[in-house]
């Protein structure tokens, strides 16, 4: 029997802006720890990425009566 090929994960690109000083600091930190900036950033935001994947986002319900307060008659 042959094994089924596993589906490759889809990756998405996210960009952030940091200051020159922050970039220098990140680069120095990575050099001292023998790692890469991507690994540092992924490790830092990992708890947020893993714990909220299945979270249902609830939108606030607007009451019909609330809209009548702002009508001009």
Q: State the average pLDDT for the chain.
A: 85
> Taking a C-beta distance cutoff of 8 angstroms, is the pair 26, 37 a contact?
yes
* Residue given tokens 């708890």 in the structure block: 47
* Residue given tokens 């090929």 in the structure block: 5
Q: Is the pLDDT of residue 22 over 70?
A: yes
Torsion of CA 61, 58, 45, 17, to 10 degrees: -40
pLDDT score, position 70: 59
Q: What is the pTM of this model?
A: 0.61
Spatial separation of the C-alpha atoms in residues 63 and 69, rounded to whole Å: 11
Whole-Å CA distances, 71 to 18, 21, 24, 27: 45, 51, 54, 56
């Amino acid at each position: 029997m042959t094994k089924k090929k596993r589906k490759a994960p889809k990756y998405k690109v996210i960009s952030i802006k940091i200051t020159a000083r922050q970039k220098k600091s990140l680069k120095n930190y990575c050099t001292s720890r023998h790692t890469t900036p991507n690994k540092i950033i992924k490790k830092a935001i990992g708890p947020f990425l893993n714990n909220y994947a299945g979270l249902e986002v609830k939108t606030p319900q607007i009451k019909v009566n609330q809209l009548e307060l702002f009508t001009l008659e």
